[in-house]
A and B are shown apart, each in its own frame.
With several copies, the nearest count.
Chain A
Amino acid sequence: MEASTEHAIARLTELYRLMARIRAFEEVALAAHAAGELPGYLHPSIGQEAVAAGVCSVLRRDDRITSTHRGHGHALAKGAAVRGMMRELFGRAGGVCRGKGGSMHIADFSVGMLGANGVVAGGIPIAVGAAQGLRLLGCDAIVACFFGDGAINRGPFLEGLNWAALYRLPVLFVCEDNAVAAFTAACSVTAGPGAVARAESCGVAAESVDGNDVEAVAEAAARLVARVRRGDGPHLLHARTYRLLGHTSTDQAAWRDPAEVAAAKGRDPIARARQRLLAAGVAETVLDAILAEARAEMEAARADALAAPWPDAAEAWEDVQDIGAETMEQA
């Protein structure tokens, strides 16, 4: 076996592991949600793991990302701590955001994950500003900015892309096109040819990729990140994927065309990576072990979160602001 092939297999195996961990994290979290163990609701990204994994696998630790309401995968792929994330979803002490954010506001600044966002397209202006700040500080880190196909119909998409192109900022925009925005087919609310054309019209070079092919995503991202880092200005990667589940943990997505969903399941990014690894001679047992480990890691995180204490009520009064913060006694 050639070294380069070996390397490619090792790399794909790692991507497989990362995708498996993302999926296991969400499956376990969904089970916990269904069991009433965690408050609120979740936005699962099951079926879209290849985008998060492929893009983040080519980033440096000091690169930054901004994410969406559907951000578990981005956070995990950027290296956020699993237990801290799971505790956050459970609203427990030790959550990465001290229980104040929950699923929709996952962030881990220690690994450059600048936060999920409850507002569609909310991360775009933040991402371009982060890139501008990094340049001002003389740092060659870049920013990857994730958003959905629904976000390209909000004003900040235009503003942010124009801005990034104007100042030639080191941003990789990643449009995660899962064919749907909440409960509405994306094509029914988006006119014109889509994200790539819109980006180019604002001076941002753009290309599309099969977002369910993790190797293709990683390859394209690596190429674009290299350009972005060397100062060629922002680029956009449009990744076509599919959201296999409903909009939130409480949406059974009964309104979706079952044939469409079934077809999409046939393009499952994890299954595809697995097929490729099997074809390349990796043993089924190795791959099964990866799945089992991922599952075990996440079940352990669930058990940890469930056993963790609730945050102290007084903590609600912390992290508001330095000046002019009210105290619990005032309440």
Chain B
Amino acid sequence: MDAALAPPPAAVEPITLVEATRRAVAQEMRRDASVWVLGEDVARGGIFGQYRGLIEEFGPERIVSTPISEATIMGAGLGAALVGTRPIIEMRIFDFALCAMDELVNQIAKIRYMFGGQAKPAVVIRAPHGLWRSSAAQHSQSLETWFAHLPGVVVAVPATPADAAGLLVAAIRSDDPVLFFDPKALFAATGPVPSAIDPLPFGVARHEQWGDDLTLVCWSSIVPDCVRAAEALARDGVGVDLIDLRTLWPWDEAAVLASAARTRRLLVVHEAVRAGGFGGEILARVVERLGPGALKAARRLGAPRLPVPFSPPLEDAMRVTEAKILAAAKSLLAA
């Protein structure tokens, strides 16, 4: 949009990502009486405060605190969608969704297809994921790749308050089941969010920064580290084309292809384990589409194939960091 024609930006106080998602939910619940939330402890606001105060406004029929019954939280959300409501299924943290995988994988993801289009599984599955202050192996996983590989679902992996809010609004309005991975480590990150939250389209990446020397693709919690690394590289005169995918399925293949064709150097960074991670898909797709000859170098940076340890030095050792991103970028630039 021509800057001269744009309306003056509303003065928006920066808010936290968790607050941004709270406002998105509240906005949609006001707009549409069929939107509701189910999950453990949501009546007291959710364990991160994502639902703070909503029980007062919407009451216990729409902010439903449930038993510790993940399979039924997930499956009941589906059932409620089948009769025309729009449930937000809160999983507390992603790892507990593993208690509900039949409901998610065999039922939610497949029901529309199996029944020839009769079912409308319009659910949002919120799953705060990733590393978060020494939470160890059962509370720190990043398995978003699994769901990009799973037909029938949309996968959102936002990294900023505005993106989280916009994608959550889009997810709630979508008739598709959306896996919405809240980035636990960024819940407290702040940024501007418009007071009326518009839905963001799925599959459209955000260019954090433009540059000609290196394409850096990332998403979710690791984005701020990538931004810092890109800033450091910029100080060395290296122009990084920094792409935050925002959604993993669909993902913005066009943006990545255009960038990689231009820079001829591709680095994909994710917090998840590298082996079998979605970085492989992106790299492979770029090679398939552009041909290997179009690239000078390409690589991925992800976690080693380890469960997440508790002790800080161990966690730090396996964590993707700004320093590791910088080192990977430099090795690519040298190739």
Contact of B154 among A91, A143, A315, A321 (CB under 8 A): A321
Q: How far is the CA of A311 from the CA of B117 in the complex (A)?
A: 14
Asked if A53 is at the interface of the complex by the 8 Å CB criterion, the answer is no
* A residues near B34, Cβ cutoff 8 Å: 136-137
Q: In the complex the two chains form, is B69's CB within 8 Å of A97's CB?
A: no
- Decide if B174 touches A323 in the complex (CB within 8 Å): yes
The 11 sampled A-B contact pairs (Cβ below 8 Å) are: A97-B115, A97-B310, A126-B76, A129-B78, A136-B62, A160-B72, A162-B67, A190-B67, A316-B306, A316-B309, A328-B317
Q: A124-B75, A137-B85, A183-B44 are in contact. Are A99 and B118 (CB under 8 A)?
A: no
With A and B bound together, what is the CA distance between A39 and B111 in angstroms?
20
Q: Do A109 and B176 contact each other (CB < 8 Å), given the known contacts A39-B133, A132-B76, A320-B151?
A: no
The contact string, 1 if C-beta is below 8 Å from chain A, for chain B 232-243, is 000000000000
Q: Is the CB of A313 within 8 A of B85?
A: no
Please tell me if the beta carbons of A320 and B307 are within 8 angstroms of each other in the complex: yes
* Other-chain residue from A64, A122, A133 in contact with B85 (beta carbon distance below 8 A): A133
| Extra inter-chain contacts (14) besides given A107-B115, A133-B80, A322-B175, CB under 8 Å | A100-B314, A102-B311, A110-B118, A118-B95, A118-B106, A119-B95, A132-B64, A136-B62, A137-B83, A137-B85, A156-B72, A184-B44, A311-B311, A321-B112
> Which single member of B65, B83, B114 contacts A100 (CB below 8 Å)?
B114
Cα A109 to Cα B120 in complex, Å, equals: 11
Q: A183 touches which one: B41, B111, B113, B175 (CB < 8 A)?
A: B41
- A258-316: which residues lie under 8 A (CB-CB) from chain B? 310-316
- Interface of B toward A, CB cutoff 8 Å: 34, 36, 40-41, 43-44, 47, 61-62, 64-72, 74-85, 87, 95-96, 99, 102-103, 106-107, 111-119, 133-139, 151-154, 174-177, 202-203, 249-250, 275, 304-307, 309-318
A328 and B309 alpha carbons, distance in the complex (Å)? 14
CA distance A138 to B296 in the complex (A): 62
| A133-B82, A182-B40, A320-B307 known; A91+B67 contact, CB < 8 A | no
Q: Which residues of A contact B133 (CB under 8 A)?
A: 39-41
B68 lies within 8 A of A189 (CB): yes
A68 to B47 alpha-carbon distance, docked (Å): 19
- Which residues of chain A come closer than 8 Å to B152, judged between CB atoms? 320-321
Q: If the complex has contacts A118-B138, A127-B79, A323-B202, are A109 and B118 also in contact, measured as CB distance less than 8 A? A: yes
Q: What is the distance, in angstroms, from B286's C-beta to the closest C-beta of chain A?
A: 16
A105-B138, A126-B79, A163-B67 given; A98·B40 CB < 8 A: no
CB pair A184 B41 closer than 8 Å: yes
Are A129 and B313 neighbours in the complex by a CB distance under 8 Å? no
Chain A residues with Cβ below 8 Å from B78 are 125-126, 129
- Measured in the bound complex, the distance between the Cα atoms of B83 and A139 in whole Å is 10
Asked whether B311 lies within 8 Å of A182 as measured between CB atoms, the reply is no
Distance in angstroms between the alpha carbons of A137 and B87 in the assembled complex: 12
Instruction: Check if A245 is an interface residue, CB within 8 A of chain B.
Output: no
Q: Does A55 contact B (CB under 8 A)?
A: no
Per the bound structure, the CA–CA distance linking A163 and B65 in Å amounts to 11
Residues of chain A contacted by B47 (CB below 8 angstroms): 182-183
Report the minimum CB–CB distance from A309 to chain B (whole Å). 10
Contact partners of A181 in chain B: CB under 8 A: 40, 67-68
Please tell me if the beta carbons of A313 and B313 are within 8 angstroms of each other in the complex. Answer: yes
Min Cβ gap A325→B in Å is 8
Q: Does A204 contact B (CB under 8 A)?
A: no
Shortest Cβ distance from B331 into chain A, in angstroms?
A: 13
Q: Is A28 on the interface with B (CB-CB < 8 A)?
A: no
- CB atoms of A159 and B69 under 8 A apart: yes
Please determine whether A156 and B138 come into contact, CB atoms closer than 8 angstroms.
no
Tell me whether B115 and A100 are in contact (CB under 8 A): yes
Give complex CA distance A100, B112 in Å. 10
Please report the C-alpha to C-alpha distance between residue A24 and residue B179 in the assembled complex, in whole angstroms.
Answer: 43
A114 and B67 contacting across the interface, CB-CB below 8 Å: no
A155 touches B71 (CB 8 A): yes
Closest chain B residue to A182 by CB distance?
A: B41
Report whether B79 and A97 are in contact in the complex, using a CB–CB cutoff of 8 Å. no
Q: Is the CB of A115 within 8 A of B66?
A: no
Among all A-B residue pairs, the 3 with the closest Cβ atoms: A125-B75, A129-B79, A129-B76
